[in-house]
Amino acid sequence: MFFISPSKGQLSFAEMMEDVKQYIQGIPSSSYKIIVGTDSMVRDDTCFISAVVVHRLGKGARYYYRKKSQTKIKSLRQKIFYETALSLELGGQIAKLFSENGYSEMPVEIHIDVGTQGETRSLIKEVVGMVTGSGFQAKIKPDAYGASCVADKHTK
């Protein structure tokens, strides 16, 4: 599976991670965090977009995304859990690579496309528990911009 960078085009996971590393090394005195979020859109099938955002705190960001299609998922609960699972899988791969390359202190946040307003509010406790139980910090709307803004932009 490949990732798309708006500025660099199609990249493999290894190429994306090398680009992330170079971005971090560009201004090593800055603070960074990695954000992973997934959103989806149901049409004939369900299109899932997972975004990886490298946030240079106070100085901008860079992002990458990948697309995955599944057969149509009608259940909102199933769709939200699958989005969260995709983000956790990707976050785990990133955290593993970081720990192997001397960046084990790099914070990785998982942004979940749920919020206190709307139909997803009943799922917050479960999906946040999934994320925090996996060792990541969880963010929900309106703070979950990795899912609700960056990934959402590419589901259209």
| 47 contacts 39 by C-beta, under 8 angstroms | no
pLDDT tens digits, residue range 117-144? 999 999 999 999 999 999 999 999 999 9
**Residues sharing a CB contact under 8 Å with residue 152, sequence separation 6 or more, in sequence order:** 39, 49, 113
pLDDT tens digits, residue range 39-82? 999 988 999 999 999 999 999 999 999 999 999 898 999 999 99
Q: Which of 104, 93, 45 has its CA nearest to residue 72?
A: 45
pTM of the model: 0.95
Q: What is the pLDDT of residue 29?
A: 94
Instruction: Compute, in degrees rounded to 10, the torsion defined by CA atoms 87, 92, 94, 95.
Output: 130
Q: From the centroid of its chain, how far is CA 15?
A: 17
Paired with 50 in beta bridges are 38, 66
Q: Using alpha carbons, list the distances in angstroms from residue 69 to 42, 47, 62, 85, 126.
A: 10, 5, 24, 14, 24
**What single letter denotes the amino acid at residue 56?**
R
* Strand pairing category for 45-56 and 32-42: antiparallel
Q: Using alpha carbons, list the distances in angstroms from residue 70 to 12, 16, 40, 135.
A: 21, 24, 10, 27
Token pair in block for residue 22: 């170079």
Q: What is the pLDDT of residue 150?
A: 92
pLDDT tens digits, residue range 84-110? 999 999 999 999 999 998 888 899 999
